[in-house]
């Protein structure tokens, strides 16, 4: 039987982690997280981290040699060319991680949590796409509160991604996270019954 590979995506701070955590806890589904793979890509001593330090000078590193993420963020979210250079290094690494984990897994259903599913061009890895959505105003406010950003910094991060409306248009399932957590979980339950149990 072929695997069901659900690409879980959305915009930054729309609630993807909440959805993934619920699917893992309520339905014991295995989660493969692009963010974890992306962190591995720039781990201490990695070739990608070395390339970053070469490009931006060792000042992009913390005293312990790890990446200074906030300093890098200030560069790439203000300069699309620099962001594309970085993504050109990290996206292939992340894709390879997903391919390896999918091949190794014996689970019939996997959740691939990929914030940049469309932007990274890896929709071919999934069999269906779930998009977590909220209003642009909520997205900005949540990001400001969660990451302690200024409105300008939050908007720069949001604008670096494909517009949510375009992601929603490409989705098989849309989870609206603009109301209460209870309503969101009810939508997840409904989507689980419809898509994972095969009642299409």
pLDDT at residue number 1: 52
Separation between Cα atoms, residue 192 and residue 171, nearest integer Å: 15
The CATH number that applies at residue 71 is 3.40.50.300
Over residues 83-141, the pLDDT tens digits come to 999 999 999 999 999 999 999 999 999 999 999 999 999 999 999 999 999 999 999 99
Number of domain units in the chain:
1
84 within some domain: yes
CB 173 within 8 A of CB 130: yes
200 within some domain: no
SS3 177: coil
25 within some domain: yes
Residue 196 has pLDDT above 70, yes or no: no
Task: Tell me the pTM.
Answer: 0.92
pLDDT at residue number 194: 82
27 within some domain: yes
Over residues 24-64, the pLDDT tens digits come to 999 999 999 999 999 999 999 999 999 999 999 999 999 99
Residue 195 pLDDT class (50, 70, 90 cuts) = low
CB 195 within 8 A of CB 173: yes
C-alpha 188, offset from chain centre: 18
Residue listed under structure tokens 């560069």: 75
The domain of 131 spans: 4-195
């Amino acid at each position: 039987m072929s695997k069901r590979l659900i690409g879980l995506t959305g915009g930054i701070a729309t609630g993807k982690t909440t959805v993934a955590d619920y699917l893992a806890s309520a339905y014991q589904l295995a989660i493969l997280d692009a963010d974890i793979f992306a962190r591995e890509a720039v781990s201490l001593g990695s070739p990608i981290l070395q390339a970053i330090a070469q490009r931006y000078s060792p000042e992009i590193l913390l005293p312990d040699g790890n990446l200074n993420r906030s300093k890098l963020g200030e560069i790439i979210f203000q300069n699309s060319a620099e962001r594309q250079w970085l993504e050109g290094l990290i996206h292939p690494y992340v894709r390879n991680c997903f391919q390896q984990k999918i091949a190794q897994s014996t689970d019939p259903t996997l959740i691939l949590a990929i914030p940049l599913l469309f932007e990274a061009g890896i929709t071919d890895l999934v069999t269906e796409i779930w998009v977590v959505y909220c209003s642009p105003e909520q997205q900005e406010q949540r990001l400001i509160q969660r990451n302690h950003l200024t409105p300008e910094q939050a908007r720069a991060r949001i604008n670096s991604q494909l517009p949510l409306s375009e992601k929603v248009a490409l989705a098989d399932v849309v989870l609206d996270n603009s109301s209460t957590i209870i309503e969101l979980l009810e939508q997840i339950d409904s989507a689980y019954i419809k898509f994972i149990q095969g009642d299409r």
